[in-house]
Amino acid sequence: MPAGASAEPSADEAVPALLARFGGEPPPAPEWFRRALALEAQRSFVGIDGANIELLAWGARGRPGLLFLHGHAAHADVWRFIAPFFAGNFRVGALSWSGMGRSDWRADYHIDHWVAELMGGAAALGLFDAPIAPVVVAHSAGAKPALITAAQHGDRLSGLIVADSGVSVPPPPHRQKADRRRCHRNYPTLPQALARFRFGPIQPCENFYIADRIARDSLKQVEGGWTWRFDPGIWAWLASAEAWNALANPKCRLALLVGEHSAVVTRQRADSLRNQAPPGTPYVVLPEAHHHLMVDQPLAFVTAIRAILAGWGIAG
């Protein structure tokens, strides 16, 4: 999701330009957003395949489990203003994939690591403690390991909601070492770093308070200033054909949620997703949303997930 780049932002890159205009401070956030952030997450770490994985949790153990998974270069904190809406009825969790957020970086990355992180993270969060199996909500690239998990371990899940993921027929799978020649730029001040934040792909953003919160959580302080948390080497990672094949054969219920104006799930790709998914798979279009559904239309995003869960008979 968030990414830093070496070039200066152009005038049409709405998020960094607007954050810079406000001097790093967005307009006041609405009350619902402040209430959501006030419900602080329990932050912890669990070791999986040699890496410490960051976990966030809301709600009591023993309730039905709900796991939120972020996309490429993002982090678990992107769900901080969404997860609290479900914490009254669910044990809600989120994780940062290895190489992202506060999770450890790896020498190289493979989708098998992410599948292990999903299952191990869900167990550590207590999402399997309830009589009913957990539901996974996976955004963007996070849906690729989630789909493979649904094909391999779907009998341990109640369902998977794929949120605007560009799953498609990929090139032949291969594994690459993380490219450490890529490196992040350091910014002397926090406002300068915030001004460099943008969503990938570039898209409009009217909810400046959300962009600002995500940008701040995407940065870490280092000697000489601020830089991005994610490992630049993760760009070497490519999903295998398993994700596309898994879309047709999940061992749990599946739903597709896409943004009306998404640059990732185009009309052609949406048709491919619907044709590949099992017959009868719910397909929901979120009006006036781009790729980052939870940023563009956060309350509608919550409502859509609640509707899908209700349709599956899962109300918490």
pLDDT tens for 72-109 read 999 999 999 999 999 999 999 999 999 999 999 998 88
Q: Which residues of 81-116 are buried (b: 16+ CB within 10 A; e: fewer)?
A: bbbbbbbebbbbbbbbbbbbbbbbbbeebbbebbbb
CA 101 – CA 267 distance, rounded (Å): 31
Please count the other Cβ atoms lying within 10 Å of the Cβ belonging to residue 256: 24
Q: Which of 38, 22, 49, 50 is nearest to 211 (CA)?
A: 22
What's the pLDDT score for residue 255? Answer: 98
Residues in the chain: 316
**Tokens in use for 81?**
């203003």
3-state class (DSSP) for residue 83 = helix
CA distance 177 to 2: 22
Note the pLDDT of residue 236: 55
Sign of torsion over alpha carbons 163, 168, 173, 179: negative
Whole-number pLDDT of residue 233: 83
* pLDDT, position 6: 32
pLDDT of residue 166: 87
Based on its alpha-carbon atoms, the radius of gyration of the chain, rounded to whole angstroms, reads 18
Residue 21 confidence (pLDDT) = 66
In the chain the first and final C-alpha atoms are separated, in Å, by 29
Ranges under pLDDT 50 in the chain: 3-12, 172-176, 178, 181
Closest CA to 135 of 231, 257, 265: 257
pLDDT of residue 10: 38
Instruction: Return the pLDDT at 73.
Output: 93
Evaluate the CA torsion angle 66, 71, 205, 211 in order and state its sign: positive
pLDDT at residue 182 in the model: 61
Question: Tens of pLDDT along 167-203?
Answer: 876 554 444 454 554 678 899 999 899 988 989 898 9
What would the two tokens of residue 163 be?
């949120």
Asked whether 70 and 292 are in contact (CB, 8 A), the reply is no
Q: How many CA atoms lie within 13 A of 147 on its CB side?
A: 29
Rama region for 266: left / alpha / beta (φ>0; ψ in -120 to 50; rest): beta
Q: Write down the pLDDT at residue 11.
A: 35
Q: Amino acid identity of 289?
A: A
Query: Which residues does 194 contact at the CB level (< 8 Å), separation at least 6?
Result: 16, 19, 20, 24, 212, 215, 216, 219
